[in-house]
């Protein structure tokens, strides 16, 4: 009887452990969000997620050092200049929403001799009505077409890209089927100024140039190729560099405001669906109120008072929340004790190894670049271009990064001194102070 009770307790303990592990794997914090559909941070310039555009944003910020980089944060109609000196408007996302005033301002901007680069999976009909004003025979504009595949190849003229570049959509670094957009070839006919520049799978147009006035508009249907995930891959990075080579030198206007989900863009094209947009049409009464400063302040004050009423009303009816004692974190004391023990015993080599493990772990977490210590030599196993890529993404000089690994190699090869340990720590600290 006692034996059966023991086995039962062991089985319950194992079941409890497996339940906890499963819950942590299922409900624990996720490091990356691999969705490119409309989620917080999708194609956002502030997002470090795989399908954010933080790397592209930083690249364009210093692309033309002699010229300005301007964030269009509120309204294209108010922040985009009518005339500029070879300026470029850039919008990257699933879709973009432009009201009538913003569309007119963008067209005036291009007509004056500037450039617009629009990378999205759908395009507003209001804009294409002007860009595709003269239609090819029996080719009425009906938005970008879609097809599903897990991997596609992207090509550009051979002078820019020597060979086709594979592109794919991934979750947790595993390829999955994806809906790719393209422009039907029937919209490009002889006698009209628009012409294709790039293709998917050698036949489906995904990059094209449309002339308007003195300027031009580049339509790119594969924004995923400009995401952080693909810009960290050598082949697709070459493709992105080739795309950006079409931008003329001048000021860059990055649109942070007009991005909307693909569903919103396509629904608005099909039904004129202003109800799906996050902006108000120019004809709405509230638009007039918000353009008049006194009325706008009155509107904002009314909303603020309503929110304050709700907050204080809820506070009066809420039960008093008990004050809980502050949790003590004893792990810091443990780490400090172990470090002091190593230091007193002059085990400098082990401290250097622990410093390098921590340094590589921070690089893996911040830049998604993996390097591990060889268990036999205790030296980092680095890819051939690891240091060069780390220098590019962190914007720290390659010589400074190389110096860290040189100092560490000397520490594990010979018996290091206290001064060598201190110098290695200072070199790593200087790296993180400069790293972007």
Among left, alpha and beta (phi > 0; psi -120 to 50; other), residue 107 is alpha
Q: At which of 261, 276, 291 does a domain end?
A: 276
Contact (CB, 8 A) for 75 and 48: no
Q: Which parts of 81-140 are beta strand (E)?
A: 88-92, 95-96, 115-119
| Strand 115-119 relative to strand 95-96, pairing | unpaired
Q: Are residues 174 and 265 in the same domain?
A: yes
Token duo for residue 291: 């353009």
Most confident of 14-28, 129-143, 214-228, 360-374: 214-228
**352 or 244, higher pLDDT:** 244
pLDDT at 279 over 50: no
- What is the mean predicted confidence (pLDDT) over 123-138? 90
| pLDDT score recorded for residue 278 | 41
Secondary structure of residue 267 in the 3-state scheme = helix
Query: Per the domain annotation, does 123 fall within a domain?
Result: yes
Mean pLDDT computed over every residue of the chain: 82
Enumerate residues 6+ apart whose C-beta is below 8 A from 65.
Answer: none
pLDDT at 328 over 90: no
pTM over 0.75: no
d(CA 35, CA 169): 9
**How many percent of the chain have pLDDT more than 70?**
82
| pLDDT score recorded for residue 367 | 87
Q: Are residues 115 and 244 in the same domain?
A: yes
Most confident of 12-21, 28-37, 376-385, 392-401: 392-401
pLDDT at 26 over 60: no
Enumerate residues 6+ apart whose C-beta is below 8 A from 97.
Answer: 124, 258, 260, 264, 265, 268, 277, 278, 279
Domain of residue 380, residue span: 335-434
Q: At which of 235, 251, 276 does a domain end?
A: 276
pLDDT at 88 over 80: yes
Instruction: Count CB-CB contacts under 10 A for residue 126.
Output: 18
Q: Are residues 246 and 369 in the same domain?
A: no
- What is the mean predicted confidence (pLDDT) over 70-99? 88
pLDDT at 217 over 90: yes
Secondary structure of residue 230 in the 3-state scheme = helix
**172 or 93, higher pLDDT:** 93
Of 59-63, 205-209, 262-266, the poorest mean pLDDT is in 262-266
Query: Per the domain annotation, does 421 fall within a domain?
Result: yes
**How many percent of the chain have pLDDT more than 90?**
33
| Strand 115-119 relative to strand 215-220, pairing | parallel
Query: Per the domain annotation, does 317 fall within a domain?
Result: no
| pLDDT score recorded for residue 275 | 41
| pLDDT score recorded for residue 276 | 37
Q: Are residues 370 and 272 in the same domain?
A: no
Q: Are residues 151 and 241 in the same domain?
A: yes
Q: Are residues 89 and 165 in the same domain?
A: yes
Token duo for residue 203: 């036949």
Kind plus residue range of the DSSP H or E element containing 281: none
Query: Per the domain annotation, does 347 fall within a domain?
Result: yes
| pLDDT score recorded for residue 317 | 63
Q: Are residues 362 and 234 in the same domain?
A: no
Query: Per the domain annotation, does 339 fall within a domain?
Result: yes
Number of domains making up the chain: 2
User: What 8-state DSSP symbol labels residue 224?
Assistant: G
pLDDT at 111 over 70: yes
Contact (CB, 8 A) for 207 and 219: yes
Of the candidates 48, 205, 216, 192, the residue with the CA atom closest to the CA atom of residue 116: 216
Measured over the CA atoms of residue 242, residue 43, residue 93 and residue 146, the dihedral's sign is positive
């Amino acid at each position: 009887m006692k034996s059966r009770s023991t086995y039962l307790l062991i089985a319950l303990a194992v079941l409890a452990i497996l339940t906890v592990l499963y819950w942590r794997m299922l409900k624990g914090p996720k490091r990356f969000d691999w969705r490119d559909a409309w989620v917080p941070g999708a194609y956002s310039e502030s997002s470090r997620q795989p399908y954010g555009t933080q790397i592209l944003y930083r690249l364009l910020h210093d692309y033309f050092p002699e010229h300005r980089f301007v964030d269009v944060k509120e309204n294209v109609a108010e922040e985009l200049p009518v005339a500029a000196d070879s300026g470029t408007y850039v919008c990257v996302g699933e879709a973009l929403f432009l009201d009538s005033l913003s569309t007119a301002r963008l067209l005036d901007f291009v007509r004056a001799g500037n450039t617009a680069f629009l990378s999205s999976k759908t395009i507003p009909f209001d804009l294409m009505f002007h860009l595709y004003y003269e239609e090819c025979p029996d080719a009425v504009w009906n938005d970008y077409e879609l097809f599903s595949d897990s991997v596609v190849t992207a090509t550009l003229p051979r002078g820019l890209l020597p060979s086709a570049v594979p592109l794919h959509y991934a979750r947790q670094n595993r390829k999955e089927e994806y809906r790719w957009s393209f422009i039907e070839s029937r919209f490009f006919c002889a006698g009209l100024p628009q012409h294709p520049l790039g293709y998917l799978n050698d036949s489906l147009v995904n990059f094209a140039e449309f002339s308007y006035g003195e300027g031009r508009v580049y339509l790119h249907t594969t924004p995923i190729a400009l995401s952080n995930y693909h810009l960290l891959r050598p082949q697709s990075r070459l493709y992105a560099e080739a795309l950006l080579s079409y931008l003329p030198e001048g000021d860059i206007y990055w649109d942070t405001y007009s991005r909307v989900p693909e569903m919103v863009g396509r629904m608005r094209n099909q039904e004129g669906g202003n109800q799906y947009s996050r902006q108000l049409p120019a004809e709405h009464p509230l638009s007039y109120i918000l353009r008049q400063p006194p009325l706008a302040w009155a509107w904002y004050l009314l909303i603020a008072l309503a929110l304050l009423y709700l907050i204080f009303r809820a506070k009066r009816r809420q039960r008093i929340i008990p004050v809980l004692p502050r949790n003590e974190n004893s792990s810091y004391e443990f780490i400090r004790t172990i470090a002091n023990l190593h230091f007193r015993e002059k085990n400098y080599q082990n401290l250097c190894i622990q410093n390098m493990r921590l340094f590589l772990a921070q690089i893996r977490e911040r830049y998604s670049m993996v390097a591990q210590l060889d268990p036999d030599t205790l030296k980092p196993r680095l890819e051939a271009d690891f240091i060069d890529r780390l220098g590019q993404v962190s914007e720290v000089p390659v010589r400074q990064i190389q110096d860290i690994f040189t100092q560490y190699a000397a520490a594990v090869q010979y018996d290091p001194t206290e001064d060598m340990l201190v110098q290695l720590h200072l070199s790593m600290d200087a790296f993180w102070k400069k790293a972007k």
